[in-house]
Structure 1
Amino acid sequence: MNQQPEPEEDAPNAANEPSLAERLGSATSLSKTTNGQIDVLASIGGLRGIVETVAPGFLFVLLFALTGELNTALIAAIAVGAVFMAFRLAKRSSLTQSISGLVGILICALAARSTGEAKDYYVPGFFIVAAYLVALLISIIVKWPLLGVLYGFLRQEGTDWRAQPQRLKRYQIATWIMVGVFAARLAVQLPLYFSDQVVALGISRLVMGVPLYAAGLWFAWLISRPPAMLSESQPPA
């Protein structure tokens, strides 16, 4: 009797391997609502995530404005970040956002403490914004707009949109919107930094942080909608 070879169940299947775009998309915190729209609130960490992101910076600029004491403001910002992490630990929820937030606060505090200048608390943020800005610009130049990679994953388009000139153009425009978000931050905040307006810098960082970022994500999502979604959103004649 001829024995049939047993299927190799453990053999890797290249067709089932996720693409780079899918890996990048799944690694992000972007998510959709049940009706297929981008869930901006969930994508920026929900209400808790917003509070964890905004509170340390708000407390820092508030205490520095009231007391003029750099150390007091730094200790308060670090303490509130640690409290958020301890709360998540007690609730046994994900610590990723709290840990990354606390590390960011510590880096900012170190920058300010090393120079003794409160305005230097915001220097690390400038480098992060500049890095995002450069990455977005490069992605547009090489015709792999990052918003296309991320939103294409959410819309289950994969990277097929790159073969469609109109879809590619839409995602390039969407990516330009986020370029504008980060460029606006630098355009407003760098002059405040160099003119030593610490309180105004802190307030602009809060206003142009989560709110502007969320608005940019939403408009980029709207501008890059596929034709089918555009026709569905139009009222019947």
Structure 2
Amino acid sequence: MSESSSTPEPSLAGSSPTEDAPDTQRPRMQEQTLLEQLGGVSGLAYSAVPIVVFVLVNSLSSLVPAIWAAMGVALLIAVIRVVRKEPLQPAISGVIGVAVCSYIAYRSGEAKGFFLLGIWTNLIYGGAFLASVVVRWPLVGVAWSALNSLGMGWRKQRKALVAYDIATVSWTAVFAAKYVVQQWLYAADETGWLAVARIAMGYPLTGLALIVTVWAVRRARQVAEEAAVQTAVSPGASPPRPDPSPG
């Protein structure tokens, strides 16, 4: 006689794609989900290609050819992603992002203008993440719950809230570091180093923030499961005492 090995377990706040998965598989599935929501590993790599092409062509030629080269590469990457049946949204976002950056560079007449959108985006994101911690609605928890169709019950659990606070602060630090370094290079007219900083700071810092985020998600799930177990026990109930009489 055998029992089913996949018994339902309490979720963070509602059902999720990882609810019925074994405990040993959940962390890995959570990491994959986070990467997919950022466009995947390939998406992170694709985002660096137009930047490299822009800087190289600008150094060898001029601004306008660099803009057209970056746009051409971005469109080519989008087509490749569509042909490979990868998620369409990151491909569209990549093309739009390169188009906006190229427009800013063209209007400013300076190659460093290509990086201005990213610099100010880091400042805005960093401020938003920090503000969310101050008002006790940490964006990491809000975003994770929204993207995975979970509720906001974790806000009533102090340990889960603190975990998401820590993860949100880690993203705040990432955005702040990017802004400070890249704004300094922008003011110094270091276009080449701007590209290096944009790529070099992107992968390591994002990876560290993702590690903290995965930890926060695991911690919030653990707290929710512990709370579910406690509520399953009747209040005031005590375990039965052993019978002292000889059997």
The verdict on a shared fold, with TM-score over 0.5 as the criterion, is yes
Aligned residue for 2:189, secondary structure, equals coil
Contact 1:133 1:183 in 2 (8 A): yes
Which sections of structure 1, spanning at least 5 residues, go unmatched?
A: 1-20, 27-32, 231-237
Kindly indicate whether residue 32 of structure 2 is the aligned counterpart of residue 42 of structure 1: no
Q: Distance in 2 between matches of 1:156 and 1:89?
A: 26
Kindly indicate whether residue 96 of structure 2 is the aligned counterpart of residue 106 of structure 1: no
Q: Distance in 1 between matches of 2:73 and 2:221?
A: 46
Q: Could you tell me which amino acid in structure 1 is paired with residue 198 of structure 2?
A: R
Aligned residue for 1:144, secondary structure, equals coil
Contact 1:84 1:98 in 2 (8 A): yes
Q: Distance in 1 between matches of 2:149 and 2:85?
A: 32
Q: Could you tell me which amino acid in structure 2 is paired with residue 36 of structure 1?
A: R
Kindly indicate whether residue 51 of structure 2 is the aligned counterpart of residue 61 of structure 1: no
Q: 1:124 Cα shift?
A: 1.1
Aligned residue for 2:218, secondary structure, equals coil
Q: Distance in 1 between matches of 2:88 and 2:157?
A: 40
Which sections of structure 2, spanning at least 5 residues, go unmatched?
A: 1-12, 18-22, 224-247
Q: Distance in 2 between matches of 1:100 and 1:107?
A: 11
Choose 157-166 or 123-132, whichever is displaced more: 157-166
Contact 2:154 2:160 in 1 (8 A): yes
Structure-1-length-normalised TM-score: 0.74
Q: 1:163 Cα shift?
A: 1.2
Aligned-pair RMSD on alpha carbons? 2.9
Where does 1:13-52 land on structure 2 (aligned, <5 Å)? Answer: 35-37=25-27, 38-39=31-32, 40-52=34-46
For 2:179, the equivalent position in structure 1 comes to: 186
User: If you compute each CA radius of gyration, which structure gives the higher value, 1 or 2?
Assistant: 2
Relative to 1, partners in 2 of residues 1:122 and 1:155: Cα closer, same or farther, differing over 3 Å? closer
Structure-2-length-normalised TM-score: 0.71
Q: Distance in 1 between matches of 2:217 and 2:85?
A: 37
Q: Distance in 1 between matches of 2:144 and 2:85?
A: 30
How many equivalent pairs are there? 201
Which residue of 135, 139, 148 corresponds with 1:146? 139
Q: 1:131 Cα shift?
A: 2.0
Where does 1:1-237 land on structure 2 (aligned, <5 Å)? Answer: 35-37=25-27, 38-39=31-32, 40-65=34-59, 67=60, 69-91=62-84, 93-152=86-145, 158-223=151-216, 225-226=218-219
Q: Distance in 1 between matches of 2:159 and 2:88?
A: 40
Deviation per residue, 1:151-183 (Å, 9 max, x gap): 456888632221122221221111100000000
